[in-house]
């Protein structure tokens, strides 16, 4: 009996996606709830699991095809046995499963230790074939690993090298360098296409302007150093800088509500809550999951939300619901070493706060030149809605709250 696999509901207002990668091929055994295909939407990659155990009998769509919600994309022969396990004795099958699990555990440990960022498809291939990604030379863009690199490495690992001949052969001359220059054309993922359209649309539709300030991070660094161990022990989460900036932003948005609003048609939509979108780097591009009701959350809850989003972004398990909404965005380019930037707003929002790296600089305090840990901060905003005075005021409130964190405790 064949079971149809259809495109699931992908989120509010999302009616279609595209086939990103087939995780199972025709003839492969499939367990119930095991992912068989990765779908790409405008915002996330979604793994579609099989509702039944059996064998994948056919693909009904190819990689890159656009498929609508409800469309049939695969057929599963329920209860059938995969070709890879047919005819095996139960003991041998169990032994193979045990070997596979051991390989996956080893690969998982090696994968965690690897310094490079791997795409979900490459991570799955590493775990499946049990190879160490740090020993493989990537052939993708900027030296990144591809799925084909992992498969080739696994094949080379399983095929023994030929025995050396007893008589040494004449060494062949090394091939002369040809100076060949190569190009690689890679189709943009659906997510990258959407990011490009949204950011370009923001530039074309909004009247973008950026105001800057600099912040003395001494007080926050001192508080973090003093309380980080107690904080981690009590809340089981590291105390970072994003929690301070999120709470400082809440103060600013409360006092300057237009920065937390957006334009819809000929109306301005104001919010009495603060849902902060946090820009997070993912294998397929930048994503912006939302910390909801940030104005009511403490530092520990905010830090846990951010850590959870970062982890799930790398794993590719963020959902559409995680990224829907948002009234204001914080983007931290400082983690990559950025000194200063002009961030682009995340439509339909009207403002985004850009954070940058902290570095010791000479500044004048009370008439004396001193060395302080300083950070440039930037607020890009839609000048159609937010006046310069409001933007500067909001950024100044954030600066003052960071330089004197007590303000966040007594709501100043």
For the structural domain made of 192-410, what CATH number should be given?
Answer: 3.30.559.10
343 and 379 Cβ atoms separated by less than 8 Å: no
189 and 20 Cβ atoms separated by less than 8 Å: yes
Q: What is the DSSP letter of 296?
A: G
Tell me: pLDDT of 175 over 70. no
Tell me: pLDDT of 225 over 70. yes
- Mean pLDDT of all residues belonging to the chain: 81
Catalytic residue list contains 387:
yes
The most confident of the ranges 65-74, 252-261, 320-329 is 252-261
Which has the closest alpha carbon to 73: 63, 59, 90? 59
Reported as a single tens digit per residue, the pLDDT across 317-339 is 888 788 888 999 999 988 888 99
Same fold? 2-78, 192-410: no
Backbone angles phi, psi at 142, to 5 degrees: 60, 30
3-state secondary structure of 116: coil
327 and 260 Cβ atoms separated by less than 8 Å: yes
Give how far the C-alpha of residue 277 lies from the chain's centroid of Cα atoms, to the nearest Å. Answer: 13
Q: Is the dihedral of CA 176, 135, 121, 60 positive or negative?
A: positive
Tell me: pLDDT of 67 over 50. yes
Token representation of residue 152:
């080739």
394 and 253 Cβ atoms separated by less than 8 Å: yes
- At residue 105, the pLDDT reads 52
Token representation of residue 52:
């039944």
Alpha-carbon distance 342 to 354, whole Å?
7
Alpha-carbon distance 132 to 135, whole Å?
6
* Range name among 210-214, 278-282, 357-361, 385-389 with the lowest pLDDT average: 278-282
The single residue of 33, 387, 404, 411 carrying the catalytic annotation is 387
**In which element (H, E) is residue 374 found?**
strand 368-382
36 and 3 Cβ atoms separated by less than 8 Å: no
Catalytic residue list contains 356:
no
Tell me: pLDDT of 408 over 60. yes
- Domain borders along the chain are 2-78, 92-158, 192-410
Reported as a single tens digit per residue, the pLDDT across 366-375 is 999 999 999 9
CA distances to 47, 146, 184, 388, 393 from 187, in Å: 20, 14, 10, 41, 44
The single residue of 65, 296, 383, 404 carrying the catalytic annotation is 383
**pLDDT band at 68, cuts 50/70/90?**
confident
The most confident of the ranges 9-18, 208-217, 282-291 is 208-217
Reported as a single tens digit per residue, the pLDDT across 186-208 is 877 777 777 788 888 888 888 99
**Beta strand ranges found along 255-367 (DSSP E):** 262-264, 267-269, 276-278, 280-282, 285-287, 290-291, 328-332, 351-365
| β-strand partners of 360 | 373
Residue for token pair 């799925």 = 147
Which has the closest alpha carbon to 24: 86, 78, 97, 75? 75
Options 3.20.20.70, 2.40.50.100, 2.30.30.100, 2.40.340.10; which CATH number does 2-78 get? 2.40.50.100
């Amino acid at each position: 009996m064949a079971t149809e696999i259809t495109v699931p509901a992908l989120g509010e207002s999302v009616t279609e996606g595209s086939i990103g990668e087939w995780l199972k091929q025709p003839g492969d055994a499939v367990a119930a709830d095991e992912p068989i295909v990765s779908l790409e939407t405008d915002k996330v990659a979604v793994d579609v699991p099989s509702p039944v155990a059996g064998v994948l009998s056919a693909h009904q769509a190819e990689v890159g095809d656009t498929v609508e919600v409800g469309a049939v994309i695969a057929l599963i022969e329920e209860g059938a046995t995969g070709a890879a396990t047919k005819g095996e004795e139960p003991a041998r099958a169990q032994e193979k499963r045990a070997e596979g699990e051991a390989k996956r555990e080893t690969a998982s440990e090696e994968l965690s230790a690897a310094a490079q960022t791997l795409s979900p498809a490459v991570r799955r291939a590493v775990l499946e074939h049990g190879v160490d990604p740090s020993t493989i030379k990537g052939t993708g863009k900027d030296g990144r690993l591809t799925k084909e690199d992992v498969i080739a490495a696994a094949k080379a690992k399983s095929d023994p090298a030929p025995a050396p001949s007893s008589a040494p052969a004449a060494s062949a001359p090394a091939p002369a360098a040809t100076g060949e220059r190569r190009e690689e054309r890679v189709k943009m993922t659906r997510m990258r296409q959407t990011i490009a359209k949204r950011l370009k649309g923001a530039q074309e539709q909004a009247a973008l302007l950026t105001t800057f300030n600099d912040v003395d991070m001494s007080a926050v660094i001192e508080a973090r150093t003093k309380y980080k161990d107690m904080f981690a022990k009590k809340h089981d989460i590291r105390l970072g800088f994003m929690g301070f900036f999120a709470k400082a932003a809440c103060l600013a948005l409360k006092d300057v509500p237009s920065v937390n609003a957006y334009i819809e048609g000929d109306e301005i939509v104001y919010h009495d809550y603060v849902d902060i979108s946090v820009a997070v780097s993912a294998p397929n591009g930048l994503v912006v999951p939302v910390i909801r009701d940030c104005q009511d959350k403490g530092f520990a809850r905010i830090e846990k939300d951010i850590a959870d989003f970062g982890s799930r972004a790398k794993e590719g398990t963020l959902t559409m619901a995680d990224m829907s909404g948002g009234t204001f965005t914080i983007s931290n380019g400082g983690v990559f070493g950025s000194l200063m930037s002009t961030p682009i707003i995340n439509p339909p929002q009207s403002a985004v706060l850009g954070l940058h790296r902290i570095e010791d600089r000479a500044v004048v305090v009370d008439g004396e030149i001193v060395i302080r840990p300083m950070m440039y901060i930037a607020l890009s905003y839609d000048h159609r809605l937010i006046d310069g005075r409001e933007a500067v005021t909001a950024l100044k409130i954030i600066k003052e709250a960071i330089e004197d964190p007590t303000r966040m405790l007594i709501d100043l």
